[in-house]
Structure 1
Amino acid sequence: MTGAPDRPRVLTELDGDVWRITLDRPEAGNALDPAMAAELGAALTGRPAQARTVLLLGNGARFCVGGDVQAFAANADPGAFVGQLARDWHEVIRLLVGCPVPVVAGVHGAVAGAGVGLIGACDVVVCGSSTKIRPAYGAIGFSPDGGTSWALTHALGAPRALALMLTDGALTAAEAHQAGLVARLVEDDEVHTAAAALAHAVAAGPVRAMVRTRELVRQAAVRTLDEQLDEEARLIARSAADPEGREGVRAFVGKRAPDFRGAADQVAGERAG
């Protein structure tokens, strides 16, 4: 089942200062097709300026089962179709990785194929305890896309990632948590609530410093210690000069809670001026 082509695949809502993006193709397990890739990309680029965190969720019983295999089968030129879809989807992954604010995801049910790369591009993933995570490419004779090979190799290491993908295996939520592919486990019926609460908590923090932290963590594996130290020095200097950093230091000295949202307003005012 592929669902009605004219029905939106992605829903968006501004919830305070959290930009909530929900995959909404539940009848197809939120399977990826060209419309979903386009709509998810538009949702990310259309993030309102006041949104300090992105929250990614999925409606229905499954978070995302990967590509729409029915659409692959129906296409007269599957190589061209799948190749273009992969390129479009990769632009979505790049938007997530480069998002100017932190990205929280809440996943449940099943995460398969390109859905694995999707959660690998998010900053913090809250996962339902019965969720199954399966690359699934081998089952249809495909190699991975969507950053799935990158996410699994970074989380599991090359030998375990290969064993998983070459045997068409699956990870339980507990195994994914132990490996670091997901950050937090909750009961299945608490995923959306817990992920939303986390997104709001992150939005109250120093999001510009968080994005710098994300950059450091993601680059740590490919830099030498000397290179990482140089980059840490550069970014902490930027943070200290930033309104967020100044507010954090003033709050610490004054023994009060910092107002990082107010610091963000100062940045916006400086830009407008």
Structure 2
Amino acid sequence: MDTPHRITTGVDGDVWRVVLDRPDAGNAIDLALADALVAALADRPASTRAVLLLGNGPRFCVGGDVAGMAAAEDRPGFIGALADRWHDAVRAVVEAPVPVVAGVQGAVAGAGVGLVGACDLVVCARSTKIRPAYGAIGLSPDGGTSWALARTLGAPRALELMLTDGTLTAAQAHEAGLVARLADDESLAEAATALAHQVAAGPVRAMVRTRGLVRRAATTSLYDQLDEEARLIVESAEDAEAAEGIAAFAEKRAADFRNAP
């Protein structure tokens, strides 16, 4: 089915496929696309166990709609409203109750970099170029881009990239940890889809707890992290996923997490 304005969605088994669908503009982010992404994530069917985020066309996402910025009578107001709504979309990705897998290709620029950084697992086509691009139009970053780059590259490399309007290759992004896997261009969608289905077959509630632990680790003391790990492993142990996983291990069979209520 189509979520109105800029996004196409559909169920693929137990994966909720969400596609940025503004290919003629490089899937540039305008208010309609931001609204549609928030709606698409909210509309995820309860039967699906992972989100797969893709971009239609040769470019995954070139960032904010610069043409719209240029035409705006109140440019600061327009950009502020767009940033606020896009941040709602990024939060919706980060807070998704199931893992989010992305497949990216061609170009990832501006706020598209922050979107990639918000996803749990990213498969990147080998020819992809990743560029913050804000400096080229005299803007500072938004969309979580500064967070994603500082978190993966470290402050010195992140600043060098952003202050010189530099570009990362897919290989550099993979080496730095911004993306999890590389795939040949022609097999990107297939690789990202396979990974999404692999994740969807796993203990998704435990995965979401794991995601939270990993994201908080950089800003949490070891002792606080130990306390949180202890709390969450007990929460996981009370979950039917753990009952199934432990029983499957003891019985020397594959776990069936899909049917763990």
TM-score range, shorter chain: over 0.9
Secondary structure of the corresponding residue to residue 111 of structure 1: strand
Residues 198-209 of structure 1 mapped to structure 2, 5 A cutoff: 198-209=195-206
- Aligned-partner residue type, residue 11 of structure 2: L
Match of 1:219 among 193, 216, 219: 216
Secondary structure of the corresponding residue to residue 73 of structure 2: coil
1:234 equivalent in structure 2: 231
Secondary structure of the corresponding residue to residue 14 of structure 1: strand
- Aligned-partner residue type, residue 229 of structure 1: L
Q: Deviations over 1:163-221 (max 9, x none)?
A: 00000000000000000000000101111110000000100000000000000000000
2:100 pairs with 1:107: no
**TM-score, L = length of structure 2:** 0.98
- Aligned-partner residue type, residue 123 of structure 1: D
Secondary structure of the corresponding residue to residue 210 of structure 2: helix
**Matches of 1:129 and 1:201 in 2, distance apart?**
21
Secondary structure of the corresponding residue to residue 27 of structure 2: coil
2:126 equivalent in structure 1: 129
**Matches of 2:127 and 2:97 in 1, distance apart?**
31
2:163 equivalent in structure 1: 166
- Aligned-partner residue type, residue 165 of structure 2: D
**Matches of 1:42 and 1:256 in 2, distance apart?**
39
- Aligned-partner residue type, residue 181 of structure 1: L
Secondary structure of the corresponding residue to residue 202 of structure 2: coil
Superposition RMSD in Å: 0.7
Residues 60-209 of structure 1 mapped to structure 2, 5 A cutoff: 60-209=57-206
2:25 pairs with 1:19: no
Secondary structure of the corresponding residue to residue 76 of structure 2: helix
**Matches of 2:256 and 2:237 in 1, distance apart?**
15
Secondary structure of the corresponding residue to residue 220 of structure 2: coil
**Alpha-carbon shift at residue 241 of structure 1 (Å):** 1.2
**TM-score, L = length of structure 1:** 0.94
**Alpha-carbon shift at residue 134 of structure 1 (Å):** 0.1
**Matches of 1:231 and 1:212 in 2, distance apart?**
10
**Alpha-carbon shift at residue 8 of structure 1 (Å):** 2.9
Secondary structure of the corresponding residue to residue 178 of structure 1: helix
**Matches of 1:32 and 1:218 in 2, distance apart?**
25
- Aligned-partner residue type, residue 73 of structure 2: A
Task: Report percent identity of matched pairs.
Answer: 68
**Matches of 2:134 and 2:119 in 1, distance apart?**
21
2:241 equivalent in structure 1: 244
Match of 2:5 among 4, 8, 28: 8
Q: Deviations over 1:17-45 (max 9, x none)?
A: 10000001000000000100000000001
Q: Deviations over 1:40-86 (max 9, x none)?
A: 00000111101100000001010000011001000101100000000
- Aligned-partner residue type, residue 14 of structure 1: V
Secondary structure of the corresponding residue to residue 8 of structure 1: coil
Structure 1 runs of 4+ aligned residues shifted over 3 Å read none
Q: Deviations over 1:108-132 (max 9, x none)?
A: 0000000000000000000000100
**Matches of 1:150 and 1:183 in 2, distance apart?**
17
Q: What residue ranges of structure 1 are gaps of 5+ in the alignment?
A: 1-6, 267-273
